[in-house]
Amino acid sequence: MDTVVTSPPASRSEIARLLSAILTSRFIINSAFRMGYAFAPELSRGLGVSLGTWSTLVGVRSGMGVFAPVFGTLSDRFGRRAVMRGAMLLFVVCAFISFISSSLIPFAVGFIGFGLAKVVFEPSASAFLGDRVPYERRGFVMGMSELGWASAALVGGPVIAFAINAWGWQSPFALLTIGGVIALLWVITVLPQSHAPHPNLSPRKGEGHLSAIAHERSAMLMLVIVFAFLFASDMIAISYAAFLERAFNVDVITLGSIVATFAIADMCGELLSMWGVDRVGKKRALLVGFACTIIFYFVMPLLGASLVLAVAALSLYYVCFEFTIVSVFPFISELVPHARGTLLSLNMTAASIGRMLGSFAGAFIFSLAGFGTLGVVGGIVVVLALVVFAFGVQERQH
């Protein structure tokens, strides 16, 4: 168990070391996470299930976020490092199970475990950075840590596409097992003793972390907003590969290249957040992000005209989406500072439930009414989220 102590803000060199371990781990975790969307047709065919069954599997994996608050509370009480190490160990075990399993039930155990590893690791990692990085610099540093999401598609996507094409649909899980072991060893080697918030920010006697969050109106509204935003996004994520395959007959190698294009878009959004969120203010940045994302939702009914138009519009959508979701983390990390780990875990829970229900809804609406209808529905959901955020949420003042 980690000793829970306080400390001054980390130096630049220490932040670089922390980021190296967090980025390595997030790259591996998110490579596993993203492949469930980008290669849904290939993986579902390899496993011998329908796309609808596969979307259910992806949705249940995303639903593992319901367990995140348990680990967030442990992170607040006992330290981030032990929780992060446990998450990477879990990931390695799940990747190996997925690799050796060829039938649905054992494969599902390993695949769904990826979702649990993600929701255990990432809130603790964000809380780790939130403990050690001042709020005025937190947008940049947390944005840097989010590059693990874009790089998972920019590098991981083409590698996974090549592996599937060369060695079969299960081969990426062998690579993920090896990568998970490397990341686990790096976390063990690099991460120092973890730190808790300053004792002056501790909750009042008799008030637990969950109770403190429940009494913070802006924090509760942000959880609803994150749920809605991720619900809308996963309707698109679960369906875009099938849309591109059916509308333009793209093969797995072409799809891998498109995934890499979307990864560049993600990275652009992350870099924009790193550059802008601390400069323009975190709430202003989120207002801009929500508004721009809405525009591209309502463009989606037009994307059947050409492959170039579809890839270009979806790329711009992912720039706006990634800018927005990355900007959420520094904003929400300071709403209840003494319960930072718990709130970030609840944020992950809201996102995971949103992803889970979005996967179910997206597969259903896509089969019933097509990709364009998904864009309209998603746009309406995010419009409502923007209104709630603009008028209901207050940024914590410093």
What pLDDT is attached to residue 199? 39
Q: What percent of the chain has pLDDT over 70?
A: 93
pLDDT class for 378, splitting at 50, 70, 90?
A: very high
* Per-residue model confidence as pLDDT tens digits over 231-275: 999 999 889 988 998 899 888 778 878 877 888 898 899 899 988
What pLDDT is attached to residue 201? 43
| Average pLDDT of the chain to the nearest whole number | 86
What pLDDT is attached to residue 194? 55
Of residues 204 and 297, the one with the higher pLDDT is 297
* Per-residue model confidence as pLDDT tens digits over 218-230: 999 999 999 999 9
* Per-residue model confidence as pLDDT tens digits over 159-207: 998 899 899 999 999 999 999 999 999 999 887 765 444 434 444 443 4
Q: Judge contact between 90 and 120, C-beta under 8 A.
A: yes
Range 43-62 burial, b when 16+ CB lie within 10 A, else e: bbeebebebeebbbbbbbbb
For the cut 90, the answer to whether the pLDDT of residue 375 exceeds it is yes
* Per-residue model confidence as pLDDT tens digits over 91-124: 999 999 999 987 899 999 999 999 999 988 988 8
Task: Compute the Cα dihedral for 21, 83, 274, 7 and give only its sign.
Answer: negative
Q: Which of 57, 50, 40, 44 is nearest to 114 (CA)?
A: 57
The rounded distance, in Å, linking the Cα atoms of 311 and 259 is 10
* Per-residue model confidence as pLDDT tens digits over 333-357: 889 888 888 898 899 889 888 988 9
Owner of token pair 């138009």: 309
Three-class HEC string of the chain = CCCCECCCCCCHHHHHHHHHHHHHHHHHHHHHHHHHHHCHHHHHHHHCCCHHHHHHHHHHHHHHHHHHHHHHHHHHHHCHHHHHHHHHHHHHHHHHHHHHCCCHHHHHHHHHHHHHHHHHHHHHHHHHHHHHCCHHHHHHHHHHHCHHHHHHHHCHHHHHHHHHHHHCCCHHHHHHHHHHHHHHHHHHHHCCCCECCCHHHCCCCCCCHHHHHHCCHHHHHHHHHHHHHHHHHHHHHCCHHHHHHHHHCCCHHHHHHHHHHHHHHHHHHHHHHHHHHHHHCHHHHHHHHHHHHHHHHHHHHHHHHCHHHHHHHHHHHHHHHHHHHHHHHHHHCCCCHHHHHHHHHHHHHHHHHHHHHHHHHHHHHHHHHCHHHHHHHHHHHHHHHHHHHHHHCCCCCC
* Per-residue model confidence as pLDDT tens digits over 301-320: 999 889 999 999 999 999 99
For the cut 70, the answer to whether the pLDDT of residue 289 exceeds it is yes
Q: What percent of the chain has pLDDT over 90?
A: 44
For the cut 70, the answer to whether the pLDDT of residue 4 exceeds it is no
The rounded distance, in Å, linking the Cα atoms of 17 and 134 is 17
What pLDDT is attached to residue 320? 96
Over residues 153-162, mean pLDDT = 85
What pLDDT is attached to residue 127? 85
Q: For 7-21, 158-172, 362-376, which range has the lowest pLDDT when averaged over its residues?
A: 7-21
Q: For 56-60, 83-87, 296-300, which range has the lowest pLDDT when averaged over its residues?
A: 56-60
Distances in Å between the Cα of 214 and the Cα atoms of 222, 229, 346 are: 12, 21, 11
The rounded distance, in Å, linking the Cα atoms of 390 and 141 is 25
pLDDT class for 322, splitting at 50, 70, 90?
A: very high
